[in-house]
């Protein structure tokens, strides 16, 4: 169970990542303008820098971990990691080597980014030569588009990254990047939803940052293979999915608030307590039976990791939303949205 203190620390790290990504976005805009003023100088300097960093990282990986990176082992040109006797690759599964593995992964992620940057340079030159365009202008356009594409490594779920510490770090970084892309000034609907029932001293932006990690993880699980992280062209992407998840979370909270108000305004008839207890019992039994029926369709529903967790906890806690929220370290309204989504998927799989 994630403690309240642990969630606060995670939220604080997400806020820092949002600010870091905002600064990165400003850096990209500023340096793109500088690059266009002297394209030849930028391309020459950037290309040399990328190659220097690739060689340096490969040397660090070889000297610290005994691993040699080769690019000739696969026809596609993808990096191939050759293990030496000094540090066998199976160390990942040994507890005493986990920190070393995570450090290695950090270096490999960095190398992957610079490899991608070099591919952006080379592919732009090839395309420019084929089309008769200016190669320096093509490189600048391709390189800065690559910078804007989002986190190179985005593996915030157990399906994409089994190591918990790495998974949490990826999730926080990806959430920070998404948060830097969302503008409440441009998304009036989301801003209005986040304004509902705010505590004194709270703000829509602060609420967005608190819910950002859970919403990003949920949205990433639903991201289709051909969908990008970054907005563009009006197509569905990770950022738009996160905004939609947050809108759903806010809508669920508003529905519960209205339902609670109607209940308070409605006069209580005689014998309501006994009838209410009976109705609650019958309701719980009905839901329990429904879940038993739904279990047979789970395999066809292709539920996400988070949806499976909530479904399992629903069955074990009799739909105790508060307990499930505490167990998973998310808000109760997030639990309700996930519950609705897994039910919709299972019903669709069962053709109901």
What would the DSSP string read from start to end of 36-83? HHSHHHHHHHHHHHHHHHHHHHHHHHHHHH-EEEESSSSTT---EEEE
What would the DSSP string read from start to end of 132-162? T--HHHHHHHHHHHHHHT--S----STTT--
Q: Is the pLDDT of residue 348 over 90?
A: no
* pLDDT at res. 35: 95
Average pLDDT, the chain: 78
Q: Is the pLDDT of residue 230 over 90?
A: no
Between residues 39 and 95, the one the model is more confident about: 39
DSSP state of 93: G
Question: What domain range is 48 assigned to?
Answer: 38-148
Answer whether residue 144 is part of any domain: yes
Question: Quick one: 235 exposed, middle or buried, by C-beta within 10 A (0-12, 13-18, 19+)?
Answer: exposed
DSSP state of 187: -
Answer whether residue 335 is part of any domain: no
Between residues 112 and 288, the one the model is more confident about: 112
* pLDDT at res. 272: 45
Lowest mean pLDDT among 59-68, 151-160, 206-215: 151-160
Number of domains in the chain: 1
Q: Is the pLDDT of residue 138 over 90?
A: yes
What would the DSSP string read from start to end of 319-351? S-HHHHHHHHTS-HHHHHHHHHHHHHHHHHHTT
The segment with the largest mean pLDDT, out of 72-86, 283-297, 308-322, is: 308-322
Q: Is the pLDDT of residue 100 over 60?
A: yes
Answer whether residue 234 is part of any domain: no
Answer whether residue 211 is part of any domain: no
Answer whether residue 272 is part of any domain: no
Q: Is the pLDDT of residue 41 over 60?
A: yes
* pLDDT at res. 326: 81
Q: What percent of the chain has pLDDT over 70?
A: 70
- Using pLDDT thresholds of 50, 70 and 90, give the confidence band for residue 1: very low
Kindly report, residue by residue over 234-256, the tens digit of the pLDDT: 567 888 888 888 888 766 555 44
Kindly report, residue by residue over 27-40, the tens digit of the pLDDT: 999 999 999 999 99
Answer whether residue 52 is part of any domain: yes
* pLDDT at res. 317: 78
Answer whether residue 60 is part of any domain: yes
Q: What percent of the chain has pLDDT over 90?
A: 24
Q: What is the mean pLDDT of residues 133-138?
A: 94
**Residues sharing a CB contact under 8 Å with residue 14, sequence separation 6 or more, in sequence order:** 172, 175, 176, 179, 209, 212, 213
Counts for the chain of helices (H) and strands (E), in that order: 13, 2
Q: What is the mean pLDDT of residues 311-338?
A: 81
Q: How many CA atoms lie within 13 A of 105 on its CB side?
A: 20
Q: Is the pLDDT of residue 172 over 80?
A: yes
Q: What is the mean pLDDT of residues 311-327?
A: 80
Between residues 344 and 289, the one the model is more confident about: 344
Torsion of CA 155, 157, 158, 162, to 10 degrees: 30
Between residues 101 and 173, the one the model is more confident about: 173
Please give the Cα distance from 80 to 230 (Å, whole number). Answer: 28
Q: What is the mean pLDDT of residues 90-117?
A: 78
Q: Is the pLDDT of residue 62 over 60?
A: yes
Please give the Cα distance from 180 to 177 (Å, whole number). Answer: 5
Q: What is the mean pLDDT of residues 212-216?
A: 87
Q: Are 338 and 307 in contact (CB under 8 A)?
A: yes
Q: What is the mean pLDDT of residues 266-281?
A: 52
Q: Is 225 helix (H, G, I), strand (E, B) or coil?
A: coil
Answer whether residue 283 is part of any domain: no
> What does the block give as tokens for 209?
């940052």
């Amino acid at each position: 169970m994630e403690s309240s203190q642990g969630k606060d620390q995670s939220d604080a790290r997400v806020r820092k990542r949002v600010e870091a990504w905002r600064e990165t976005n400003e850096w990209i805009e500023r340096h793109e303008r500088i690059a266009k003023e002297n394209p030849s100088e930028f391309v020459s300097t950037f290309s040399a820098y990328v190659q220097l960093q690739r060689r340096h990282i490969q040397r660090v990986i070889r000297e610290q971990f005994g691993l040699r990176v080769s690019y000739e082992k696969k026809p596609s040109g993808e990096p191939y990691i050759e293990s030496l006797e000094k540090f066998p690759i199976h160390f990942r599964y040994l507890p005493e080597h986990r920190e070393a593995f995570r450090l290695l992964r950090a270096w490999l992620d960095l190398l992957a980014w610079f490899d991608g940057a070099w591919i952006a340079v080379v592919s732009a030159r090839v395309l420019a030569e084929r089309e008769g365009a200016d190669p320096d202008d093509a490189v600048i356009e391709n390189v800065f588009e690559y910078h804007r594409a989002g986190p190179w490594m985005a593996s915030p779920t157990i399906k994409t990254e089994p190591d918990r510490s790495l998974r949490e770090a990826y999730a926080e970084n990806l959430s920070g990047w998404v948060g830097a892309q969302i503008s409440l000034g441009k998304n009036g609907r989301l801003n209005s939803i986040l304004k509902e029932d705010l505590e004194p001293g709270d703000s829509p932006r602060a609420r967005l940052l608190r819910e950002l990690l859970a919403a990003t993880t949920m949205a990433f699980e639903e991201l289709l293979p051909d969908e990008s992280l970054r907005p563009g062209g009006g197509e569905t992407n990770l950022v738009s999915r996160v905004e939609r998840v947050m809108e759903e979370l806010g809508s669920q909270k508003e529905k519960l608030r209205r339902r609670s108000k109607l209940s308070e305004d409605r006069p209580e008839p005689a014998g309501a307590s006994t009838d209410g207890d009976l109705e609650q019992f019958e309701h719980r039994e009905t839901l329990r039976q429904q879940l038993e029926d739904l279990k047979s369709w789970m395999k066809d529903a292709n539920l996400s990791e988070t949806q499976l967790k909530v479904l399992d906890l629903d069955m074990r806690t009799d739909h105790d939303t508060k307990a499930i929220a505490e167990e998973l370290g998310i808000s109760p309204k997030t639990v309700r949205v996930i519950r609705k989504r897994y039910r919709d998927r299972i019903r669709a799989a069962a053709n109901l």
